[in-house]
Amino acid sequence: MSSLGSVQSLKKDGLKIHGVSIKRSSFIKEKLIESFHPIWFVSPMGTGISSCVLYRFPFESEVLQVCSYIMFSVCLFLFIQNTILFILQMIFYPNKRYPTLFDISRACFLGCYPMGLSSIVNMTYLLTVNNNSKWSWTLVYVLWWISGFLSLATAWFVTFCIQWKEKIYNENLHATLLLPVVSLTVSGASGALITNKLPIVLQPVNLIICYLLWANAILLAFLIIAVHFWKLYVHKIPKSDLRFSSFLPIGLFGQGAYGIMLLGNNTYNYIKSNNFDYLLNDFSTINIVSEIFLYFGLISSLFLISNGICFTILASFTCLSNGKCKFSRTWWAMTFPLGTMSLATTEIYRVFEWTSFRWIGTIYGSALIIITIICLIGSIIWEFPHEIYLNPHNDLMDNLENQNSLSSSIV
C-alpha cells in the first residue's frame, strides 16, 4: 500500500488511519512539530537564491522577473513555516534542544537558517533598490544585521558545541560541517550587496565588517574542506543520500567569489566617489588605490570560481557514480551552491563585460531553477506525504495493533 493510500479518510474531528481516529491537534503536534528536522531550513535557501537569480538573470527578461516574485513568495512561506515549526518544537519538546545544538546530524543545519534569511535580505534589496525612501534601506539594513548576528552565532557557537560534546567518527566527517561556517560568507556577500543603498557615512563600516566576515568564513571553511577531502581519500565517497552533500563546498566557493567581487567593486566605487585628505586629493593616487581593491576582488573571485567549477564536476561524478537515487530532501543540497556560482560569474560579467562568464552564469542559473522546481514538486508529492503519512503509519502500527488486541479481548 502506498504512503498516501494509508490514509483512508479525513473527518471533521480528526484523521482516521486504518480505522483508528487520531485528533488533528495531536497529529500536527506529533508528526509536524516533533518530527521537524532543521534540514528543512535548506528549502528557503534554495528558493530564495532562485528568486535572486531569476530577478537578475544573465539574460534579463520581464517574464523571469515575474517568476522571481512567485519564487520569492514560496521562499517567504517556507521560511515562516519552518521558523514556526522550529520554535514550537523547542517549546513543546525540550528533549530536542540538546541534540539540536550538539548532534552533528541536526546542529550543522542550523547554519541554513541565517543563509535563508540572507537570501530574503538580498531579494528585498533588489525589489527596493530604486526606492530612495528611508524606510526601504532601514528595513534591509536591520534585516541584514539580524542575519549577521545569526550567522556569527551558528558559525562560532554551533561549531564550538560540536567540537565540545559530539564525538565524530572519521567516516562521518561530511561536508555538512561547512554549513554553519558558510553562513558567514553569505552574510558578508549580502552586506556587500546592500552597501550602495546605505548612507555614505555607513558604507566604510559596512565594507570593513563584510571583509571580516568573508575572511573568517574562508579560513575556517578551507580547514573543514581539507579534513573532508582527507575523509574522502580514506573512507571514499558516501553511497547513501549524503552523496548530495558533495555540492556544499561549491556554495562556499561561489558565495565567496560573489562576495569578494562585490566588496572589491564597492570599495572601488567608494574611493573613486570620495576625496580623502590623506591621499592629498591626487586623482592618480585615488585611481590606483581604488583599482587595487577592484582587481584584488577579481583575482580572488576567479580563484574561488575555478575551484567551484572543479567541485561541480567532482560532485556530479559523485552523484552519478552510485547509480540512480530516488528523490529525498537531501536533493535540496544542490540548489544553493549552484545559485551562488551563477551569481558570482554573472557579477564578473556585469563589472568587466566578459561574455563567457555570462554564459557560465546562465548554465548554472538554469540548472538551479530546474533543480529547485524538481525539489519543490518532489517535496510536495513524495517527501511530505512520506513523512506525514508513511512515518506515522509505521509509528502507529504498534498502537493500532494494541488497540485491536484490546478490542478482541473485550469481546
> 3-state DSSP: the chain helix, strand, coil percent, rounded to 5?
85, 5, 15
CATH number, domain with residue 332: 1.50.10.150
Q: What's the rounded Cα separation, in Å, for the pair 303 and 315? A: 18
Averaged pLDDT for residues 286-292: 82
| Phi, psi angles (nearest 5°) of residue 13 | -90, 0
The pLDDT assigned to 275 comes to: 62
179 is a domain residue: yes
The pLDDT assigned to 128 comes to: 87
224 is a domain residue: yes
75 is a domain residue: yes
- 8 A C-beta contact, residue 26 and residue 17: no
Question: Percentage of the chain surpassing pLDDT 90?
Answer: 44
Q: What's the rounded Cα separation, in Å, for the pair 222 and 148? A: 21
256 is a domain residue: yes
The pLDDT assigned to 330 comes to: 83
10 is a domain residue: no
- 8 A C-beta contact, residue 206 and residue 198: yes
Q: Could you tell me which residues come within 8 angstroms of residue 22 by beta carbon, excluding any fewer than 6 positions away?
A: 14, 15, 16, 396
pLDDT exceeds 80 at position 198:
yes
Q: Report how many domains make up the chain.
A: 1
101 three-class SS: helix
4 is a domain residue: no
Burial class, 50, CB count within 10 angstroms (exposed 0-12 / middle 13-18 / buried 19+): buried
pLDDT in tens, 103-113: 887 888 898 99
Query: Residue 243's domain spans which residues?
Result: 34-391
Averaged pLDDT for residues 274-294: 71
pTM strictly above 0.85: no
Averaged pLDDT for residues 353-375: 93
Mean pLDDT across the chain, nearest whole number?
82
Which is higher by pLDDT, 389 or 319?
319
pLDDT in tens, 35-56: 788 888 999 999 999 999 999 9
24 is a domain residue: no
The pLDDT assigned to 404 comes to: 42
254 is a domain residue: yes
